[in-house]
Amino acid sequence: MKNLDNKICIIGLGYVGFPLAIEFSKYYKTYGFDVNKTRISDLKNNLDKTGEIASITIKESDLNLTSNKDDIKSCNVFIITVPTPIDESKKPDLGALRSASEFVGEIIKPNDLVIYESTVYPGCTREECIPLIEKKSKLKLNKDFLCGYSPERINPGDKVNNLKNITKIVSGSNEKALNMVDKLYSKIVSEAETFKVSSLEIAEAAKVIENTQRDLNIAFVNELALIFEKLNINTKEVIDAAATKWNFLPYKPGLVGGHCIGVDPYYLTHKADISGYSPEIILAGRKLNDNMGFYIAERVIKLMISKSIIVENSNILVLGLTFKENCPDIRNSKVIDVINELREYNTNIDIYDPWVDDKTVKNVYGLSLSDSSCFNKKYDSIILAVAHSQFLEIKLEKITHDRSVIFDIKSVLPNNRNLNIYQL
Ligand SMILES: NC(=O)c1ccc[n+]([C@@H]2O[C@H](COP(=O)([O-])OP(=O)(O)OC[C@H]3O[C@@H](n4cnc5c(N)ncnc54)[C@H](O)[C@@H]3O)[C@@H](O)[C@H]2O)c1
């Protein structure tokens, strides 16, 4: 039976908001709101283009989908899951968060609860978002309405770790808010626990450091890969050997793209900067990770030259464009850096990615994708950029010649003595 005390509205139905809305709709009367009318109409037709929720699940759900403000005015809990990207100068772009906050400010009533899930820097909810709600609504925090922050930790494409079984950090603007947020999320996190923290800022900081730590760990192994290339030793073998020690963390080198790991550290460094501390380690890690695409392209070119392949007009196949495996998300894909750098050498590049549609790639990056006819060609070099499971089935010997360079960025290809496979 549904709990009728709360009527929930999720604002922003993307990778985070839509699965959350589906989960909440099992226990509460729930609305899903998005400004993108196409997204709403796709979802109403049971199509989730993020690939997170199956059509049948959408069809059978009780979720009410809308772009209409009037439909959600009677809700008493608003959960904001809008994007928090960075701008061109790598500063937080709070545009969507501000506009969603003002929007909520226009509709909330006394005693309502607003919860933020978008990733931000510590202090953002209290300093940037709540004042906008107060200004629009003329209501006062903790007197007239309550606020919570509960960061999202889902990992798109991951069918093992999901909303139900990931511990959910919860926080509130006061004790009452904390308990309300905790009670709400305890329902949906049915196979894990909620974890109460003492302030909105602790919860915000916890989320942003999770991703910053991952970014730095990868930056460290990326730096090792650069060093070991100079020393002519295999990075993977070194890491596998070191990983036999109980406290060594076996991170893999690679590209760090997407809208989380490569973005969130800048939220933290922005806040550090305006607080009077200039972060060095975090930014050094970011710089190194941001340069990996160019490094990989140059390494491939050098390997081709070492095999006496004429680089100009050579044929290169790039396998995968998304920022991670088994997921259609191409936001901030660093594979683009590899492609752009290879283009500088006048190479002919085919890009194949069965997870993304040609139209989206054209709109976002101005690139055309190849279809499976690329498997009838022979390439001088193949770059495995993303570890989509389909790629492991490709018969590489059929699309290469005896000098072709195969660069396995993700270190997932099995050892094959008949192929020239290189890794980071
Ligand atoms: N995707 C992830 O893996 C992930 C994981 C954890 C946390 N996060 C964080 O969650 C937040 C959302 O990320 P996402 O990946 O779901 O983003 P997304 O781009 O997939 O979805 C955001 C949705 O919000 C809608 N939107 C934008 N502005 C709006 C507004 N003012 N009102 C209503 N709807 C609006 C967009 O149309 C879009 O459908 C970000 O802060 C992100 O950093 C993402």
Continuous segment of H or E residues that includes residue 29: strand 28-33
How many CB atoms neighbour CB 414 within 10 A?
8
Three-class DSSP category at 340? helix
Tokens of 305: 């030259």
Q: Which of 51, 45, 37, 41 is nearest to 322 (CA)?
A: 51
Quick one: pLDDT at residue 93? 98
161 within a domain of the structure (yes/no): yes
Three-class DSSP category at 343? helix
pLDDT grade for 155, boundaries at 50, 70 and 90: confident
Are residues 20 and 84 located together in one domain of the fold? Answer: yes
DSSP string, 234-300: -HHHHHHHHTTSTT----------TTTTTTHHHHHHHHHHHTT---SHHHHHHHHHHTHHHHHHHHH
Residue 145 DSSP code: B
CA of 152 relative to ligand 1 center, distance in Å: 10
- Coarse DSSP helix, strand, coil percentages of the chain, rounded to the nearest 5 percent: 40, 15, 40
Q: What is the pLDDT of residues 271-283, one digit of tens each?
A: 999 999 999 999 9
Q: What is the pLDDT of residues 95-120, one digit of tens each?
A: 999 999 999 999 999 999 999 999 99
pLDDT grade for 1, boundaries at 50, 70 and 90: low
74 within a domain of the structure (yes/no): yes
Domain with 228 in it: 221-423
Last residue in a domain, options 179, 208, 237: 208
pLDDT over threshold 80, residue 327: yes
CA of 36 relative to ligand 1 center, distance in Å: 11
| Catalytically active residues, by annotation | 260
The mean pLDDT value for 318-342 works out to: 94
Q: What is the pLDDT of residues 11-41, one digit of tens each?
A: 999 999 999 999 999 999 999 999 999 999 9
Are residues 156 and 267 located together in one domain of the fold? Answer: no
Are residues 266 and 171 located together in one domain of the fold? Answer: no
Are residues 164 and 230 located together in one domain of the fold? Answer: no
CA 95 to chain centre: 18
Q: How far apart are the first and last CA of the chain?
A: 53
Are residues 394 and 345 located together in one domain of the fold? Answer: yes
Quick one: pLDDT at residue 54? 95
pLDDT over threshold 70, residue 233: yes
Q: What is the pLDDT of residues 290-326, one digit of tens each?
A: 999 999 999 999 999 999 999 999 999 999 999 999 9
Contact 393, 377 (CB under 8 A): no
pLDDT over threshold 90, residue 414: no
Quick one: pLDDT at residue 159? 80
Tokens of 191: 């196979």
215 within a domain of the structure (yes/no): no
Q: Compute CA distances 316 → 92, 312, 386, 389, 394, whole Å.
A: 36, 11, 15, 21, 16
pLDDT over threshold 90, residue 418: no
How many CB atoms neighbour CB 88 within 10 A?
6
The mean pLDDT value for 55-68 works out to: 97
Q: Which ligand 1 atom is nearest residue 119's CA?
A: 41
Residue nearest to atom 20 of ligand 1 (CA): 14
Alpha helices (H) in 115-263, listed in sequence order: 124, 130-137, 175-188, 200-231, 235-242
pLDDT grade for 5, boundaries at 50, 70 and 90: confident
What is the CATH classification number for the domain harbouring 417? 3.40.50.720
DSSP string, 302-313: HHHHHTT---TT
Last residue in a domain, options 161, 182, 208: 208
pLDDT grade for 417, boundaries at 50, 70 and 90: confident
Are residues 193 and 69 located together in one domain of the fold? Answer: yes
CA of 140 relative to ligand 1 center, distance in Å: 27
Are residues 379 and 414 located together in one domain of the fold? Answer: yes
The mean pLDDT value for 168-182 works out to: 98
Pocket around ligand 1: residues whose beta carbon is below 6 Å from it?
Answer: 11-17, 33-36, 39, 81-84, 96, 99-100, 103, 117-119, 152-154, 156, 259-260
Query: How many Å is the Cα radius of gyration of the chain?
Result: 24
214 within a domain of the structure (yes/no): no
Q: Which ligand 1 atom is nearest residue 264's CA?
A: 43
CA–CA distance, 133 with 104 (Å, rounded to integer): 7
Residue 389 DSSP code: G
213 within a domain of the structure (yes/no): no
* Mean pLDDT (the chain, rounded): 96
CA–CA distance, 128 with 140 (Å, rounded to integer): 15
Are residues 269 and 414 located together in one domain of the fold? Answer: yes
186 within a domain of the structure (yes/no): yes
Phi, psi of 41 (to 5 degrees): -70, -40
pLDDT over threshold 70, residue 156: yes
Residue nearest to atom 30 of ligand 1 (CA): 100
Last residue in a domain, options 140, 174, 208: 208
Q: Which residue has the higher pLDDT, 209 or 1?
A: 209
What angle (nearest 5°) sits at the alpha carbon of residue 230, between those of residues 226 and 236? 55
Are residues 197 and 235 located together in one domain of the fold? Answer: no
Q: In the chain, how many domains are there?
A: 2
Are residues 172 and 313 located together in one domain of the fold? Answer: no
The mean pLDDT value for 157-165 works out to: 86
pLDDT grade for 357, boundaries at 50, 70 and 90: confident
Sign for the pseudo-dihedral over CA of 196, 201, 207, 210: negative
Q: Which ligand 1 atom is nearest residue 39's CA?
A: 39
Contact 385, 412 (CB under 8 A): no
Residue 143 DSSP code: T
320 within a domain of the structure (yes/no): yes
Q: What is the pLDDT of residues 194-224, one digit of tens each?
A: 999 999 999 999 999 999 999 999 999 999 9
CA–CA distance, 227 with 61 (Å, rounded to integer): 52
Are residues 267 and 384 located together in one domain of the fold? Answer: yes
Are residues 233 and 154 located together in one domain of the fold? Answer: no
How many CB atoms neighbour CB 295 within 10 A?
19
Quick one: pLDDT at residue 4? 67
216 within a domain of the structure (yes/no): no
Amino acid identity of 306? S
Q: What is the pLDDT of residues 236-263, one digit of tens each?
A: 999 999 999 999 999 999 999 998 999 9
Against a cut of 0.85, is the pTM above it? yes
Residue nearest to atom 11 of ligand 1 (CA): 118
